[in-house]
A and B are shown apart, each in its own frame.
Chain A
């Protein structure tokens, strides 16, 4: 047959990623989310900058796990649930791709979009550098940590989106998990002593704080990568189960 070229799977994933990202740009939710994120993060940064007169990013990074816990589920909620609801999942999966390709594309697409959302915050770094003499180590580590945090939250959001046809349900499931991971280390004093070590380990907040202080501890990196992998596999499993069960 004519035109029967064999296509590398990478190519198809990239085609899907492009479509995902362009669909973010054609949806108002992404603009609202992006604008609100920048507004809130800008407030957190300039609050310290103007009112306290300090050129530093600590407060911005400190609040990032909480901000993302709200904004990332808002971006991931429609990823798979909407495809399930409208039935377009069927047209997607009957193209020459399998479930894993679809999950990869959705995941990378939303991670890249969140990465784009971080780019304007570099202006805070520049502001700091112009008016002060910040320690660049923690800032670079903070951005690295932010990317790990994004990956973990996106995987959680993707999984939440894969278990339901309802975007709102997907949002609240992902938001609940993310906010608990972000804030649990703040509540450790109220919790039984035996659980503290475990809860501290599963808390995204404490791992992120440790990275954003400029300490690149392998335990923190392993933590984020394992959360990401775990929920990534859950999401794949859930999509696959929809087709086999």
Chain B
């Protein structure tokens, strides 16, 4: 259980984190989202005890982290962004060193983490010679060393190849069954895949905090319908669609659009219609298409992705 209440952090006159409060229950996987410089990393650094808050308190299991510095650090496994490690050490020495620092038995932990994080091939390489992906894995081994109750990962999958990303995600899911995990990421699909809850931070403030499932419903104001038909010109299609009840805006698709899917020999048109939340216009469109005698090639309802939600809430924050 992590509780932050009215936490702020300034660097000189710049307020990186501005009066944020949240509480994270044990066993939750929480995604911290936000544009660059929004205060995600600063927030994580304050929870880990690397930085102290300018004002406000953070407590873990009811203990204030600044008053119980070492006790809190024992409960946390942390991987900073880009996994900064001692580049002059070889991997196995480094993991042994971390094991000793965390009061773990190296003989038991080193083989275990070597296996979990897939480090067998690089165990005797110098850390400075490792590729980005392997460094990230050593960083993960560092974070997992003390079986942490709370795992905090700053952009854990950046720099990994797709297979490694899948491995790391599975690992996080596995750990998240019993432990608290906080991850920050730019990859929104990752958040949708992994996290139970999303906290979006923009300009040091929390602009959204809700379960991942609800987020889209709560903040996604609209959906859109994409249609592609044959035997029709673009202008006719747009004018016809604009007359439908509930259609808010209609934009024509161009033939070089990446979602353009009409066969090359078919002369046709496509359009995207935005609709207000909860309004159903697909039946009206099918009726229109059959009345006019067009050939229907595609009719898709596109829900607002998390990306749209992200854009909405973070730019709103910017305008304030």
Contacts and interface: CB of A to CB of B under 8 A. Distances in A.
Q: Decide if A and B are genuine partners.
A: yes
Query: How many interface residues does chain B have, given as a range?
Result: 35 or more
Contact of B104 (A3, A23, A26, A86): A3
Given A87-B80, A90-B50, A96-B74, A19 B85 contact: no
Interface in A70-109: 86-88, 90-91, 93-98
Nearest to A242: B51
Contacts of B78: 91, 94
Contacts of B153: none
Summarize B's interface: helix, strand, loop or mixed.
Answer: loop
Contacts of A5: 103
A195 interface: no
Nearest to A240: B52
B70 A98 contact: yes
A94 B88 contact: no
Given A1-B147, A95-B98, A86 B87 contact: yes
Contacts of B45: 90
Given A88-B84, A88-B85, A94-B78, A243 B105 contact: no
A12 interface: yes
A19 B84 contact: no
A96 B88 contact: no
Interface string B226-257: 00000000000000000000000000000000
B101 A3 contact: no
Contacts of A218: none
A94 B103 contact: no
B84 A26 contact: no
Contact of B86 (A4, A23, A97): A23
B97 interface: yes
B149 A93 contact: no
A193 interface: no
A12 B100 CA distance: 8
A139 to B, nearest CB: 36
Interface string B75-90: 0101010111111110
A2 interface: yes
Interface of B: 11-12, 45, 48-52, 69-70, 73-74, 76, 78, 80, 82-89, 93, 97-98, 100-105, 139, 142, 146-147, 149
28 contacts: A3-B105, A4-B74, A7-B103, A16-B101, A19-B97, A26-B89, A86-B84, A88-B84, A88-B85, A90-B84, A91-B78, A91-B80, A91-B84, A91-B85, A91-B142, A93-B49, A94-B49, A94-B73, A94-B76, A95-B73, A96-B74, A96-B102, A97-B101, A98-B69, A243-B50, A243-B51, A245-B11, A245-B12
Interface of A: 1-7, 9, 11-12, 15-16, 19, 22-23, 26-27, 86-88, 90-91, 93-98, 243-245
